[in-house]
């Protein structure tokens, strides 16, 4: 009986660019037989974050930061409340010119004691097929890391 390891990919996306990245990351994780779900941060339940051994969070950059109020609340209240210390973290997002948000997400994850994987993945505008392949690869890496941990 194989263990079904769990991961969750949470995103904030205004026009679908970061959402496409989230779905590609999730498909990479799933391709290695790890249970995963890609979900908007508006819909994610704290129990789902709590159960996940790996949490990927993506958001696009607006005015040099996260689309601030709702996403800040998610990072500083919802994520903190599940105490993600020790979990694997992945930060990503689409951007137009400066792309600070994924770096901010990674910093917060590290502050909370999460083990953040490289790369912090930033994609300019709408992801191309090649970009989506890169996202998928990151998902495969997440799954491999989870499997190593459970050995």
Ligand X SMILES: Cc1cc2nc3c(=O)[nH]c(=O)nc-3n(C[C@H](O)[C@H](O)[C@H](O)COP(=O)(O)O)c2cc1C
**Could you list the residues that contact ligand X (CB under 6 A)?**
13-18, 60-64, 94-99, 125
> How far is the first Cα of the chain from the last one, in angstroms, to the nearest whole number?
14
Which position's Cβ is nearest ligand X?
96
Report, in Å, the least distance between residue 20 CB and ligand X. 8
Our CB check for ligand X shows the closer of 62 and 137 to be: 62
CB of 39 to ligand X, least distance (A): 15
From the CB of 41, what's the least distance to ligand X, in Å?
A: 12
Smallest separation, CB 12 to ligand X (Å)? 7
Query: Please, which residues have CB within 8 angstroms of residue 3's CB and are 6 or more apart in sequence?
Result: 150
Residue with Cβ nearer ligand X (16 or 39): 16
Cβ closer to ligand X: 108 or 122?
A: 122
Output the smallest distance, CB 112 to ligand X, in A.
Answer: 23
In the complex with ligand X, the residue whose CB is nearer, 79 or 104, is 104
What separation in angstroms does the CA of 120 have from each of 9, 33, 92?
A: 14, 23, 6
| Distances in whole angstroms, Cα of residue 103 to Cα of each of 6, 29, 31, 116, 117 | 24, 22, 27, 11, 12
Q: Which residues are 56's β-sheet partners?
A: 9, 90
* Phi-psi group of 113: left, alpha or beta (phi > 0 → left; psi -120 to 50 → alpha; rest → beta): left
Enumerate the β-bridge partners of residue 38: 9
* Residue placing its CB nearer to ligand X in the complex, 22 or 142: 22
């Amino acid at each position: 009986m194989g263990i079904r390891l769990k991961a969750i990919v949470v995103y904030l996306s205004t026009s679908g660019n970061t959402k496409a990245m989230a779905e590609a990351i999730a498909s990479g994780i799933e391709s290695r037989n790890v249970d995963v779900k890609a979900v908007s941060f508006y819909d994610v339940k704290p129990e789902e974050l709590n159960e996940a051994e790996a949490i990927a969070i993506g958001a696009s950059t607006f005015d040099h930061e996260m689309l601030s109020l709702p996403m800040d609340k998610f990072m500083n209240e919802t994520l903190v409340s599940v105490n993600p210390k020790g979990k694997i973290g992945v930060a990503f997002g689409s951007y137009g010119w400066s792309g600070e948000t994924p770096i901010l997400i990674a910093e917060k994850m590290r502050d909370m004691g999460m083990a953040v994987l490289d790369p912090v993945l930033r994609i300019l505008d709408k992801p191309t097929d090649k970009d989506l392949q890169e996202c998928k690869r990151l998902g495969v890496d997440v799954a491999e890391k989870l499997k190593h941990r459970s050995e």
